Amino acid sequence: MKSHGHEHHHDHGHGAGHSHGPYDNNRNPLDFARYLGKLEDPEREAWQKPDRVVEALGLRAGDVACDVGAGPGYMALRMARAVGSTGAVYAIDVDPRMIETLGQRIRETGIENVHPVLSAGGRGSLPPRRCRVILVVNTFHHFPDGAAYLRKLAGRLAPGGRIVIVDFQRRALPVGPPPGHKISRAGVAAEARRAGLEVARERRFLPYQYFLELAPIRVPGQGRAAGRARGKGSAGKKPPPRARARGARRRAARSTR
């Protein structure tokens, strides 16, 4: 895949050897039909476990979510079912062919709450609305500056929202790219910290991939310290004379009831 600033790739389902070339200007395979077949191969479900991945996202009806590197909608369409007709899923991809295919899938399934977004010009598109969940599957290892793009994505999170990274373990596997093209779990965690994020939760149900939930780094005791400071600021201060007089009259009135 092409190393261009923060672009998004629909690299959700690699076959063994990671070779689909030759490639176009985005380093996506020219043999689109073959590549699409790899992405939508029924055998992929056995190791990708897409329904369980979406279940683990904890999406609720009415949520707004995003799938970065959405491809033909392998995850986005499932996410759309989870958020229901009152929710929305923004599906970002760099390849116009994928955006066109996703549009076809939307029409075929009748799922109308998926909104395709073409990432163009190397800018790294962002969801237009703040999201409760931003999902990045088998795509993070393509970002030349993962921390910079994570920082941008974090700016599109709703309060309490999180970014979920699913990518291949950095070892020899029967699926996915060769180890030299991957980023390790530790590498993602390091990039996240550079972006002001931390691994808030990790799930281990995928055989070949890690599943990391990223959230803004919390400063321990910051909220409690602020509360104590506010309390100290008000403690020991006497109310003005008029306020003391009003208080005395209210106490006297209560004593006669």
Local confidence band at 247 (pLDDT 50, 70, 90 cut-offs): low
Determine the length of the chain.
257
Q: Kindly state the helix (H) or strand (E) to which residue 197 belongs, with its residue range.
A: strand 197-203
Q: Which residues contact 35 (CB under 8 A, 6 or more apart)?
A: 20, 28, 29
C-alpha 61: how far from chain center: 17
Local confidence band at 6 (pLDDT 50, 70, 90 cut-offs): very low
- How much is the pTM? 0.79
Q: What is the pLDDT of residues 14-35, one digit of tens each?
A: 444 445 567 666 667 788 999 8
Where do the domains of the chain lie, and which CATH numbers do they carry? 32-216 (3.40.50.150), 222-255 (no CATH)
SS3 193: helix
The whole-angstrom separation of Cα 175 and Cα 135 is 20
* Dihedral (CA of 44, 110, 114, 6) sign: positive
| Core vs surface per residue 75-100: b (16+ CB within 10 A) or e | bbbbbbbbbeeebbbbbbbbbebbbe
